[in-house]
């Protein structure tokens, strides 16, 4: 298993892998997104309390789930960069931060749009929303730190330390904000036992979550491939690949 | 650890305190900043004592957080500029512990003083006096956490030219739990309830921070020096 991690650490191998992965990931993600959107936004029945305004859940929840998971992926990449000194992990971190930040922003904006008809306010300071806002700040901090250093290697190490510190803090932040205030609906998707959400809404939601994970992977791979193309443009292996 | 480690750490601590005490304005300055910003709140919100009393725990804590951000920026600056930091990194003594000594000395002269001076500011905001001991305790524990978090951010940004704003940007999300627990403790005490669970959580954050932060600070200092 470790051999694949070592292979991923080599820019030529990763470039070929990324090309292949993007080629088959792109159609799958597009299909999944279209099917999920049509199913969720058109086919699934309206909610008996919220009517049709609940449908933004099919974008809001997947974005939030992937944004939170993405931070841990970024922290893992940071760990690999610091501990095993894998240079591709630096590239991965630089690619992951903006994508994660964008997804967090999408989650916050769609949540705000959802909140207006249901709660009557564009913004409510409840536990989950505040935690997501702090997650956005953590992402922006990593992005700002990586831009601030002139030396790229030092920048990557600094971002790795910062994202690891943030990882330790995320459960603490989440729990503290939870205790501070909560009127957000408790989690409806449980993987053991019966969910509080009906199957006709659950399945499109799960499909959209999977589709968003795929979209996340696609965006990160595209960004990493672009960075490889710019950094390694003078190398012989890339020139032979492109010709 | 090396046998002369104890003497080394005592020397480090004495040096930090002596150098800091030679510039009283660096110690009193943040307290004056604290006072001035507290004064801005009644000016902005109106002088109604009941409103101020209700908002006092939050105001005091947020301003304490801002003061600690201002002060954290200076934490490693002087040592970085004159090369002492490089000597500390190169020395055989563990960098994590040297950094911890520096943060503790810094906290003694910033956070603890803030906690001791806080009753005066609480009176300005008409906070109930039964909450003042809890305010002092929560600020003492909380500013320790804030100093540790500020030190982690300072260690990552000390080598940067415009690291000041970035330091605040990095620290603030991490300080949210401290703020939440601190204000909850003071508010509960102001209402007459028992704040000990919130103070215990603050203590837990301080204890965890004391154990984990030095390693992050040492890593950050090494990264900054290599940049």
The per-residue DSSP string of A148-178 comes to H-SSHHHHHHHHHHHHHHHHHHHHHHHHHHH
Q: Cβ of A143 under 8 Å from any chain B Cβ?
A: no
Q: Which tens digit of pLDDT belongs to each residue from A129-147? A: 888 999 999 999 999 999 8
pLDDT at A184 over 80: no
pLDDT grade for A3, boundaries at 50, 70 and 90: confident
Averaged pLDDT score across all residues of chain A: 87
Over residues B199-204, mean pLDDT? 95
Euclidean distance between CA atoms A134 and A104, whole angstroms: 10
Name which of B166, B177, B201 is nearest A144 (Cβ-Cβ): B166
Beta carbons of A149 and B177 less than 8 Å apart: no
A120 exposure class (CB count in 10 Å sphere: 0-12, 13-18, 19+): exposed
The answer to whether A162 touches A142, Cβ cutoff 8 Å, is yes
pLDDT tens, A192-231? 444 467 788 888 999 999 999 999 999 999 999 999 999 8
pLDDT category of residue A181 using cuts at 50, 70 and 90: low
Query: Average pLDDT in the B30-52 region?
Result: 92
The pLDDT of residue A15 is above 60: yes
Domain boundaries, position B31: 5-226
Backbone angles phi, psi at B192, to 5 degrees: 100, 5
The predicted model scores a pTM of 0.89
Q: With bands split at pLDDT 50, 70 and 90, how would you rate the model's confidence at A57?
A: confident
What integer pLDDT is reported at residue A194 of this predicted model?
43
* Contact between B156 and A172 using a beta-carbon 8 Å cutoff: no
Least confident of A50-59, A134-143, A150-159, B170-179: A50-59
Asked whether the beta carbons of residue A138 and residue B173 sit closer than 8 angstroms, the reply is yes
Band the pLDDT of B213: cuts 50, 70, 90: very high
A7 band by pLDDT with thresholds 50, 70 and 90: confident
> For chain B, percent helix, then strand, then coil, each to nearest 5?
85, 0, 15
Contact residues, chain B, for A137 at CB < 8 Å = 169, 172-173
What are the structural domain ranges in chain A?
15-185+209-242
**B156–A162 C-beta distance less than 8 A:** yes
Comparing CB atoms, the residue among B163, B212, B223 nearest residue A154 is B223
Touching check for A75 and chain B: CB below 8 Å? Answer: no
User: For residue range A89-115, what is the model confidence (pLDDT) as tens digits?
Assistant: 999 999 999 999 999 999 999 988 888
Asked if B169 is an interface residue toward chain A (Cβ–Cβ < 8 A), one would say yes
Residue A153: CA atoms inside 13 Å, Cβ hemisphere, count? 9
Give the Å distances, CA to CA, from B43 to A131, A199, B36, B49, B181.
31, 55, 11, 12, 27
Instruction: Tell me whether 0.90 is exceeded by the ipTM.
Output: no
Confidence of residue A187 (pLDDT cuts 50, 70, 90): low
- Which of B177, B208, B222 to mutate to probe the A interface, most A CBs <10 Å? B177
Closest-CA residue of B relative to A133 is B173
Query: The tokens 């989440």 sit on which residue?
Result: A174
- Where is B193: in which H helix or E strand? none
Tell whether the model's pLDDT for residue B74 goes beyond 50. Answer: yes
Task: Please report, for chain A, how many H helices and E strands are present, in that order.
Answer: 8, 0
pLDDT (0 to 100) of residue A185: 45
Average pLDDT over residues A118-130: 79
Average pLDDT, rounded, for chain B: 92
Q: Tell which residue, A65, A100, A103, A75, has the closest CA to residue A167.
A: A75
Q: Quick check: A151 and B157 CB within 8 A?
A: no
Count of structural domains within chain B? 1
Percentage of chain A surpassing pLDDT 90? 54
CB-CB contact of B210 with B100 (8 Å): yes
pLDDT of residue A182: 46
Phi-psi region of B23 (alpha: psi -120 to 50; beta: other; left: phi over 0): beta
Q: What is the mean pLDDT of residues B200-208?
A: 95
Per-residue pLDDT, averaged over B151-165, amounts to 90
Inter-chain Cβ pairs, chain A and chain B, closer than 8 A: 81
The band of A5, judged by pLDDT with boundaries at 50, 70 and 90, is: confident
Residues of chain A with Cβ-Cβ distance to B177 below 8 Å are 169, 172-173, 175-177
Nearest of A82, A147, A138 to residue B161 by alpha carbon = A147
CB contact under 8 A, A176 and B170: no
Percentage of chain B exceeding pLDDT 70: 100
Confidence (pLDDT) at B162? 81
Task: Give tens-digit pLDDT for A19-36.
Answer: 999 999 999 999 999 999
pLDDT reported for residue A190 = 41
CB contact under 8 A, A137 and B223: no
**Distance from the B64 Cα atom to the nearest Cα atom in chain A, whole angstroms:** 19
């Amino acid at each position: 298993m470790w051999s694949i991690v070592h292979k991923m650490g080599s820019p030529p191998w990763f470039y070929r892998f990324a090309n292949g992965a993007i080629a088959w990931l792109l159609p799958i993600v597009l299909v999944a997104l279209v099917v999920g959107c049509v199913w969720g936004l058109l086919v699934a029945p309206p909610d008996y309390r919220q009517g049709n305004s609940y449908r933004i859940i099919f974008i809001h929840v997947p974005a939030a789930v992937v944004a939170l998971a993405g931070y841990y992926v970024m922290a893992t990449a940071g760990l690999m960069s610091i501990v095993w000194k894998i240079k591709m992990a630096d590239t991965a971190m630089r690619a992951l931060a903006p994508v994660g930040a964008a997804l967090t922003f999408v989650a916050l904006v769609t949540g705000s749009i959802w909140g207006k008809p249901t709660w009557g306010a564009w913004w409510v300071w409840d536990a989950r929303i505040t935690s997501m806002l702090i997650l956005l700040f953590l992402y922006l901090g990593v992005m700002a730190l990586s831009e601030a250093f002139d030396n790229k290697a030092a920048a990557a190490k600094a971002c790795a330390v910062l994202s690891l510190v943030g990882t330790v803090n995320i459960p603490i932040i989440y729990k503290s904000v939870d205790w501070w205030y909560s009127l957000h609906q408790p989690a409806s998707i449980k993987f053991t036992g019966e969910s509080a959400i009906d199957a006709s809404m659950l399945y499109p939601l799960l499909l959209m979550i999977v589709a968003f994970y795929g979209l996340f992977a696609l965006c990160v791979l595209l960004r990493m491939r672009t960075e490889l193309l710019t950094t390694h443009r003078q190398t012989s292996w890339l020139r032979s690949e492109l010709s | 650890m090396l046998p002369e480690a104890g003497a080394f750490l005592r020397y480090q601590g004495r040096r930090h305190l002596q150098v800091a005490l030679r510039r009283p304005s660096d110690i009193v300055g943040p307290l004056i900043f604290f006072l001035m910003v507290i004064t801005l709140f009644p000016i902005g919100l109106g002088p109604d004592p009941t409103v101020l009393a209700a908002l006092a725990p939050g105001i005091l804590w947020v301003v304490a957080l801002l003061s600690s951000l201002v002060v954290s920026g200076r934490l490693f600056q002087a040592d970085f500029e004159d090369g002492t930091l490089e000597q500390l990194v190169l020395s055989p003594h563990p960098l994590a512990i040297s950094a911890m000594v520096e943060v503790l000395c810094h906290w003694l002269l910033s956070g603890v003083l803030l906690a001791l001076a806080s009753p005066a500011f609480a009176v300005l905001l008409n906070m109930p006096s039964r909450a003042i001991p809890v305010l002092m305790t929560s600020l003492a524990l909380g500013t320790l956490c804030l100093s540790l978090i500020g030190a982690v951010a300072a260690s990552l940004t000390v080598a940067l030219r415009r690291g000041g704003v970035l330091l605040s940007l990095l620290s603030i999300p991490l300080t949210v739990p401290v703020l939440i627990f601190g204000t909850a403790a003071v508010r509960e005490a102001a209402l007459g309830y028992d704040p000990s669970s919130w103070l215990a959580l603050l203590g837990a954050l301080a204890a965890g921070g004391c154990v984990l932060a030095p390693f992050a600070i040492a890593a950050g200092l090494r990264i900054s020096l290599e940049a």
